[in-house]
Amino acid sequence: MKTFFRCAAVLLALLMLSGCVKPDVDPPESTPPTDPSTPSEPSHPTEPTKVGFHMEDGKTYYYLRDGSFITGKVAIGDHTYYFDDSGVMQTGWVTLNETTLYFKPDGRMAVGQVEIDGRNRFFTEDGQEVTVVNPWNALPEDYDPDLISFGEPYGNENSRVSRVCFEALKQMIDDCNKECPRVYVISSYRSVDYQKGLFENRIQRFQNEGYSREDAERLAAAVVARPGTSEHHLGLAVDIIDTRSWELTEIQETLPAQQWLMENSWRYGFILRYPKGTTESTGIIYEPWHYRYLGVELATAVYESGMTLEQYFESISN
Is the per-residue pLDDT at 294 higher than 90? yes
Identify the CA nearest to 224 among candidates 279, 284, 280, 276: 284
Per-residue pLDDT tens over the stretch 176-229: 999 999 999 999 999 999 999 999 999 999 999 999 999 999 999 988 999 999
Is the per-residue pLDDT at 70 higher than 90? yes
Q: 133, 226 in Cβ contact below 8 A?
A: no
Per-residue DSSP letter, 48: P
Q: How far is CA 214 from the centre of its chain?
A: 39
Which range is least confidently modeled, 10-14, 97-101, 159-163? 10-14
Q: What is the pLDDT of residue 50?
A: 80
Q: What is the pLDDT of residue 47?
A: 54
Q: How many CB atoms sit inside 10 A of residue 82's CB?
A: 20
295 contacts: CB under 8 Å, gap ≥ 6: 269
Q: What is the pLDDT of residue 48?
A: 59
Report residue 11's pLDDT band, with 50, 70 and 90 as the boundaries.
very low
Mean pLDDT rounded to a whole number for the chain: 88
Q: What is the pLDDT of residue 223?
A: 86
Q: What is the pLDDT of residue 34?
A: 40
Residues 14, 18, 21, 25, Cα dihedral to 10° = 100
Report residue 27's pLDDT band, with 50, 70 and 90 as the boundaries.
very low
Q: What is the pLDDT of residue 21?
A: 42
318 contacts: CB under 8 Å, gap ≥ 6: 78, 79, 108, 110, 111, 112
* Residues known to be catalytic: 287
Please state the pTM of the whole predicted model: 0.81
Percent share of the chain, pLDDT over 70: 85
Report residue 37's pLDDT band, with 50, 70 and 90 as the boundaries.
very low
Q: What is the pLDDT of residue 24?
A: 41
29-43, 47-61, 116-130, range with greatest mean pLDDT = 116-130
Per-residue DSSP letter, 233: G
Report residue 12's pLDDT band, with 50, 70 and 90 as the boundaries.
very low
Domains of the chain, CATH where assigned = 52-109 (2.10.270.10), 147-316 (3.30.1380.10)
Per-residue pLDDT tens over the stretch 255-275: 999 999 999 999 999 999 999
**215 exposure class (CB count in 10 Å sphere: 0-12, 13-18, 19+):** middle
Question: What average pLDDT does the segment 144-151 reach?
Answer: 95
